[in-house]
Structure 1
Amino acid sequence: MATFREILITTESRLEAGDLHFGHGYLDAHDEAVALVLAAEGLDPLTGSEILDLDVSPEGLEKLQGFLRQRLEDRLPTAYIIGYAALGALTFWCDDRALVPRSPLMSVIHEGYSPWFDHSVPKRIVDVCCGGGSLGLLAAYHSPETSVLLLDIDNRALALAEANRRTQALPNTLCVQANLLATLAPESVDIILANPPYVDAEDMANLPREFHHEPRIALAAGDDGLDLVHELLRQAVYVLSPEGVLFLEVGNSAPALIASYPDIAFTWLELASGGHGVCVVSASELKASIDLTDSGSSQV
């Protein structure tokens, strides 16, 4: 028999030697080793060091070997292997219908949207391109008095978001299939959380293998990474309340966004959870620069 301590050391070593990409919710080989070993044994992901000198069961060892084949040979992200992923205070069901939860917009939620939205409690928050729903559900958890809409055009992703919504049992949430913000009424949203597809063609061609297990529709966004962002900005002008704000993640496509909208005063954020290419812009700043033509909605 082998103890958890021994198996964790061996698993970490195998992951370190595997030429893997880390970043789908885990910092490094150590974090992934802990997640895989605990999941293989059927233990709570928050289990602590009290188990280190206990023996791993034969069933757990066998399951771990299957997990490692998926990780090392297929380069499947750990979150897809074990079926769940944490973001902030919550844990979500996770599979290839949506990106692995990892957005740095988590920090914006934890900080209460301050100082960019400081007009008491927001009435409505929208998580657009919600994928599995992690950002919107985290927002609802931290703002129980706020109505939170989770929007996505992909019905597979939205089904996963709905499963997570039911599991979290947050009564202030609703999942709606929509093309970006097109179903929303004018001036009906205080805060938009947007993590749209933003990977440009060059970056798509050079992504590590792990990313190719994620849905392409949630990543690829044309030559400059802004295929959806242009329409998102036009719709945001229409649906944001006068005091509203848009938090937008565009990653490496930030220079293209700045070049496309030189008159918009995007504020680029340094966030506690790391990440880059995250900005905030107010409704008034957008309205001064974005054409409202054909930005109407069917209104929710």
Structure 2
Amino acid sequence: MDSTTGLRSLRDFIRFGASQFRAAGLSFGHGTDNAFDEAAWLVLHTLHLPLDLPESWWDARLSEVERTRVVAVLRERVATRKPAAYLTREAWFAGLPFYVDERVLVPRSPLAELIAQGFEPWVDPETVTRALDLCTGGGCIGIAMALALPQARVDLADVSTDALAVAGINIERHRVGEQVRALQSDVFDGLEPGDRYDLMVSNPPYVDAEDMAGLPDEYRHEPVLGLAAGGDGLDTVRRILAGAREHLTEDGVLIVEVGNSQAAVEAAFPELPLIWLEFEAGGHGVFLVHARDLPGA
């Protein structure tokens, strides 16, 4: 007998999906952190229903066509180990929906909390006229920054033309083309010498060789270019710290996410007065440094 025989309601299929995911030993971390939320996301998205659907709807019965579609996507999640965001072609960041596919990482940065706060108290949001999202990927961080700082012009920079194509889709989706531009740049190499920013934010590749070797299958669907950063995870971070001063204003601020490579950063740059930020919603490994404290100041 088919294991889906007898499933009728939204609640049934979400429960079924969660059970299948747990039995298959799937990994999470691309928008959800558990099997139930992942199943709910996939079921609701497949049925074109909002993620905040009232629970009173959960006993609604699915049509035969809907049941077939929902079972197919749940089984695809198990068979392929692709993160749900790649199956739905959508991820949420800073309360905003973004298009994603395998050309970019799925957004999951604690920087969303800083953006929601307008980067206060570290930055006066009213004084930011130019901002840079370095290693932008699909543009989620930079576009969220632009919407939070409407007076600022925001550049999205990435070495990957594939990633910039996705960023372009998101620029159009959020209608910020007059405020945001996408630039191909290998760290700072594609910027003009006169490009200076009041705020520079980066979520660069920072996964070290040991962690890369142990990544779950879900993470192996993401572009290696956006993850791997050498033996100690600092290949890109070193370039950012060496060149950021040249592209920051006198009172500019640099914010970089390095995740589990925090200890490596602290060991490699003991002379830099890095401020390690704390997040109420969770997350770690994000430092802030003032332009005046960077090399070349």
Tell me which interval the TM-score lies in, with the shorter structure as reference length: over 0.9
Query: How far apart are the structure 2 equivalents of 1:25 and 1:57?
Result: 28
Query: How far apart are the structure 1 equivalents of 2:151 and 2:65?
Result: 45
Q: Are the aligned partners of 1:193 and 1:247 in contact in 2 as well (CA < 8 Å)?
A: yes
- 2:29 — aligned with what? 23
Could you tell me which runs of 5 or more consecutive residues in structure 2 were left unpaired when the two chains were aligned. 1-6
- 1:244 — aligned with what? 252
- 1:295 — aligned with what? none
Query: How far apart are the structure 2 equivalents of 1:272 and 1:185?
Result: 37
* 1:45 equivalent in alignment to 2:51: yes
Q: Could you tell me which of 270, 275, 279 is aligned with 2:287?
A: 279
For the structure 1 residues 229 and 135, does the alpha-carbon distance in structure 2 shift closer, same or farther, using more than 3 Å as the test? same
Q: Could you tell me which of 265, 269, 284 is aligned with 2:277?
A: 269
For the structure 1 residues 110 and 85, does the alpha-carbon distance in structure 2 shift closer, same or farther, using more than 3 Å as the test? same
* 1:2 equivalent in alignment to 2:8: yes
String of CA shifts for 1:61-117, please: whole Å, max 9, x gaps: 212222122211221101001110101221001110000011111111111111211
Q: Could you tell me which of 219, 222, 231 is aligned with 1:214?
A: 222
Shift of 1:42: 2.4
* 1:108 equivalent in alignment to 2:114: yes
Shift of 1:146: 0.8
- Output aligned runs, 1:164-243, within 5 Å: 164-170=170-176, 171-182=178-189, 183-186=191-194, 188-243=196-251
Q: Are the aligned partners of 1:186 and 1:240 in contact in 2 as well (CA < 8 Å)?
A: no
- 2:3 — aligned with what? none
Q: Percent identity?
A: 39
In the superposition, the TM-score normalised over structure 1's length comes to: 0.92
Q: Are the aligned partners of 1:24 and 1:77 in contact in 2 as well (CA < 8 Å)?
A: yes
- 1:145 — aligned with what? 151
Shift of 1:47: 3.0
Size of the aligned set, in residue pairs, is 289
Q: Are the aligned partners of 1:187 and 1:241 in contact in 2 as well (CA < 8 Å)?
A: no
Q: State which drifts further: 206-215 or 60-69.
A: 60-69
In the superposition, the TM-score normalised over structure 2's length comes to: 0.93
Q: State which drifts further: 198-207 or 58-67.
A: 58-67
- 2:61 — aligned with what? 55
SS of 1:148 mapped into structure 2: strand
Q: Are the aligned partners of 1:106 and 1:273 in contact in 2 as well (CA < 8 Å)?
A: no
Query: How far apart are the structure 1 equivalents of 2:203 and 2:24?
Result: 30
Could you tell me which runs of 5 or more consecutive residues in structure 1 were left unpaired when the two chains were aligned. 293-300
Shift of 1:27: 2.3
* 1:162 equivalent in alignment to 2:174: no
- 1:130 — aligned with what? 136
SS of 1:116 mapped into structure 2: coil
- Output aligned runs, 1:79-118, within 5 Å: 79-118=85-124
Q: Counterpart amino acid of 1:5?
A: R
Shift of 1:236: 0.7
Q: Are the aligned partners of 2:133 and 2:202 in contact in 1 as well (CA < 8 Å)?
A: yes
Structure 1 residue runs of 4+, over 4 Å off?
none
Q: Counterpart amino acid of 1:255?
A: A
Q: Are the aligned partners of 2:125 and 2:149 in contact in 1 as well (CA < 8 Å)?
A: no
Shift of 1:40: 1.8
Q: Are the aligned partners of 1:240 and 1:283 in contact in 2 as well (CA < 8 Å)?
A: yes
Q: Counterpart amino acid of 1:239?
A: H
Q: CA RMSD in A?
A: 1.6
